[in-house]
Structure 1
Amino acid sequence: MSQPLKVWSKFSVTKKDGSVLNLRIVDNPEDPKVIEKVMDCFHNYFVKEECTFKAAGVPESEEAMQEIRGAFNYLVSNEKPVLSVCCLDNGDDQIKEVMGASLMMYMTREEAEKKLKFKTKAMQKLIQMAEDLAEIYNDMRAFNLDPYLLDRGIVVCPEYRGLGIAQELLKVRRLISKEYGIPINGAWMTSYGTQKAAERDGWETVCELQYEDLEKKFNVTYGRHPPSTKFMIARIPL
C-alpha cells in the first residue's frame, strides 16, 4: 500500500472570475497516471514555450520532442527526481488535475557533471547552450555544493497562470533544500513569469546575461522574451 502524499504547502488563490481555489503542493507522487500528467505538462508547455528550448529548435523537431520526452521519463524513472506537484486540495489523497510542477534532480557533484548525449541536432544544440551557460555561472561550483539540487524546470498550466502558483513552487524549493541540508537553491530564470515569481519570493540575481548577447554567442534567435536571463538563488538557513 502506497504511503500518503507528503504535503509541502496548502494555499488558496482567487481566479479572475472571483472563484476561490484551495490548492496544495505535494511531494513525489508515485501514481504512474499522475506522473504521466506531469510529463505531459512539461512536454506541452515547458518544452514548447521555454525560450532556450525554442531557440535551439526543439519544438520544431518531432524527433527532438520525442527525445526530450524520453529523457524526462528516464530521469523521473531512473534517477533521483525531486518532484513537486500543485493540485486541488480536495480533502483526499487523489491528484485529479496537475496545475503546475517543479522538477529538480538530487545528485552528487560527480553525477551533475556527467554529459548528456542526444542524437538530434536540436537537442545537441540545447545541451551545448546549457553547458556554455554553466561555464559562465554554476552555483554548484560557486558555493561548493555537494550534493546538489539541479533545476529541471518549473511549469504552470496556462489556465492557472497569474495566480501565484510559480511563487509557491519556489517557496517549496526552499523547504526541500532545507530538508536535504543544501544551503543554496538556484536556477536560470528565463521568463518574465519565473523572474517575477522569484523576486517576490526574495531570490537574488547573481548573474544576468542579455539575450541579445546570447543570440550572437549561440547563433540563435530567442524571439519574444525578457531582455535578459537571470541566474537567481535562494539562500537557505540550515
Structure 2
Amino acid sequence: MSQPLKVWSKFSVTKKDGSVLNLRIVDMPEDPEVKEKVMECFFEYFVKEECTYKASGVPESEESMEELRGACENMVSSQTPVFSVCCLDNGDDQINEVMGASLMMYMTREEAEKKSKFETKALQKFILMVEYLAEIYDDMRAFNLDPYLLDKWIVVRPEYRGLGIAQELLKVRRLISKEYGIPINGAWMTSYGTQKAAERDGWETVCELQYEDLEKKFNVTYGRHPPSTKFMIARIPL
C-alpha cells in the first residue's frame, strides 16, 4: 500500500462567482498520470508565458520544445526533484486536477553549477540568458549554501490565478526549506504575479534588473511584462 501524501498546507479560496474551494498543497505522488498533468501545466502555462522563455523563442520552436521535454524528463528522473502540487482538498489522496505546482531541485553547489547543453538555437539563447542572470546574482555563493534548493518554476493555471495559490506555494517553499535545513530560498521573479505573491509572503528583493537593459544585451523583445525582473529571497529560521 502506498504511503499517504504529505500535506504541506490546507487553505480555502473564494472565486469571483462567490464559490469557495478547499485546497491543499501536497508532495507529488508516484503516479504517472499526475506527473503528466504537472508537466503539461508547466509546458502549457509556464514555458509558453514566462518572459525569458518567450524572449528566447522557445515556445515558437517545436524542436526546442521537444528538446526541453526530454531534458526535463531526464532531470526529474536522474536528480532530486522537489515537487509541490496544489489540488482540491477532497478528503482523499486523489489528485484529479492540478491547479498549480512548484518545482525545486535539491542539489549540491557543484551539481547546480553544471552548465546545461542544448542543440536547438532557442534553448541555447535561453541558457545564455539564464546563465547571465546567475552571474549577476548567485544566492548560493552570497549565503554560502551547499546543499541547496534550486528554483525551477512555479505556475498556476490561468483559471485559478488571483486566488492566492502562488503565495501559498511560496509559503510551502519556506516549509520545505526548513525541513531540508536550508536557511535561504531564492528565485528570479519574472512576472507581476510572482513578484506580488512573494512580496505578500515577505520575500525580499536583493537584486533587480531592468528588462529594457536585458533586451539591449541579448537583442530580444520581452513584450508585455513588469519593468524589471527581481531576485527575491525568503529567510528561513532553522
Give the TM-score taking structure 2 as reference length: 0.99
What percent of counterpart residues are identical?
87
Look up the match of 1:151: 151
Asked if residue 194 in structure 1 is aligned to residue 197 in structure 2, the reply is: no
Say which SS state the counterpart of residue 9 (structure 1) adopts.
strand
CA-based RMSD: 0.6
Deviation at 1:219, TM superposition (A): 1.1
Deviation at 1:28, TM superposition (A): 2.8
Deviation at 1:29, TM superposition (A): 1.6
Deviation at 1:72, TM superposition (A): 1.6
Q: 1:5-84 counterparts in 2 under 5 A? A: 5-84=5-84
Look up the match of 1:183: 183
2:28–2:34: 8 Å Cα contact kept in structure 1? no
Say which SS state the counterpart of residue 133 (structure 1) adopts.
helix
Look up the match of 1:96: 96
User: What is the alpha-carbon distance in structure 1 between the residues aligned to residue 46 and residue 181 of structure 2?
Assistant: 28
Deviation at 1:75, TM superposition (A): 1.7
Unaligned runs of 5+ in 2: none
Q: 2:213 is matched by which residue type in structure 1?
A: D
Look up the match of 1:114: 114
User: What is the alpha-carbon distance in structure 1 between the residues aligned to residue 175 and residue 135 of structure 2?
Assistant: 28
Give the TM-score taking structure 1 as reference length: 0.99
User: What is the alpha-carbon distance in structure 2 between the residues aligned to residue 56 and residue 126 of structure 1?
Assistant: 5
1:39–1:73: 8 Å Cα contact kept in structure 2? no
Look up the match of 2:105: 105
User: What is the alpha-carbon distance in structure 1 between the residues aligned to residue 98 and residue 14 of structure 2?
Assistant: 17
- Give every structure 1 segment of 4 or more consecutive aligned residues whose post-TM-superposition deviation is greater than 3 Å: none
